[in-house]
């Protein structure tokens, strides 16, 4: 599981910056499969499959170290399914900080759109986001873990878990 590794510092504070908050990719939210709406869904009903295949990040702190800014670069692998006729798909992913749940600042959702050209059936898409974390003086940075994943419905989450279970049985 990749984690955030690089840290920086804004301003002239002489002591070394605290470690960066750890960033985790959620196992059952790292991919999503979209189906066309039919009563029984099989492989021919797949519109698109999206997967987060990589991410990198770095963090920096303001001068007083009351805020951490995390910059992330995420790479998505997007496959067109046999049911797709539009040659495009849109999807959402999130960056969440459980310490702030359920407050709105606890989760940011980002919308992406992918378009396939010609006979393309697979593309890679890179997105860059930056989130700012307010850090209280009495808290340790390790209390601010960050989670990333694709925004999935309960049905899509269940489908993802079934796929993992099937792979483990092989």
pLDDT (tens digit per residue) in 157-167 = 888 888 776 66
Q: Rounded to an integer, what distance in angstroms lies between the CA atom of residue 127 and that of residue 146?
A: 17
Which pLDDT score, from 0 to 100, does residue 78 have? 98
Neighbours of 56 (CB within 10 A): 15
What mean pLDDT is predicted for residues 108-137?
93
Which pLDDT score, from 0 to 100, does residue 5 have? 41
Which pLDDT score, from 0 to 100, does residue 168 have? 67
Q: Which helix (H) or strand (E) holds 25?
A: strand 23-25
Contact call for residues 36 and 45 (beta carbons, < 8 A): yes
Among 3-7, 54-58, 73-77, which is the least confidently predicted range? 3-7
DSSP letter at 65? S
Number of domains composing the chain: 1
Residue 71 confidence class, pLDDT cut points 50, 70, 90: very high
76-88 CB burial, b ≥16 within 10 A, e <16: bebbbbebbeeee
Cα of 83 vs its chain's centroid, Å: 25
> Is 1 inside a domain boundary?
no
> What token pair was written down for 89?
């798909």
> Is 165 inside a domain boundary?
yes
Query: Is the pLDDT reported for residue 154 higher than 60?
Result: yes
> Is 108 inside a domain boundary?
yes
- Backbone phi, psi, residue 121, to 5°: -120, -5
Which pLDDT score, from 0 to 100, does residue 138 have? 75
114-135 CB burial, b ≥16 within 10 A, e <16: bebeeeeeeeeeeeeeebebeb
Residue 47 confidence class, pLDDT cut points 50, 70, 90: very high
Q: What is the pTM of this model?
A: 0.83
Cα of 60 vs its chain's centroid, Å: 20
Query: Is the pLDDT reported for residue 106 higher than 80?
Result: yes
Residue 58 domain boundaries = 6-169
> Is 59 inside a domain boundary?
yes
């Amino acid at each position: 599981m990749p984690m955030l590794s690089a840290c920086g510092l804004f301003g002239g504070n002489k002591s070394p910056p605290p470690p960066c908050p750890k960033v985790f990719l959620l196992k059952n939210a790292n991919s999503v499969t979209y189906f066309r709406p039919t009563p029984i869904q099989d492989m021919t009903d797949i519109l698109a499959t999206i997967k987060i295949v990589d991410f990198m990040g770095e963090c920096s702190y303001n001068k007083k170290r009351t805020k951490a800014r995390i910059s992330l670069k995420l790479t998505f692998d997007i496959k067109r399914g046999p049911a797709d006729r539009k040659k495009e798909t849109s999807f959402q992913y999130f960056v969440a900080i459980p310490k702030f749940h359920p407050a709105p600042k606890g989760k940011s959702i980002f919308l992406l759109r992918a378009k396939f050209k010609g006979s393309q059936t697979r593309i890679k898409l890179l997105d860059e986001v930056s989130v700012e974390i307010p850090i209280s003086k009495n808290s340790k940075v390790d209390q601010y873990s960050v989670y990333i994943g694709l925004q999935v419905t309960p049905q899509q989450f269940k489908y993802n878990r079934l796929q993992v279970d099937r792979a483990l049985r092989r």
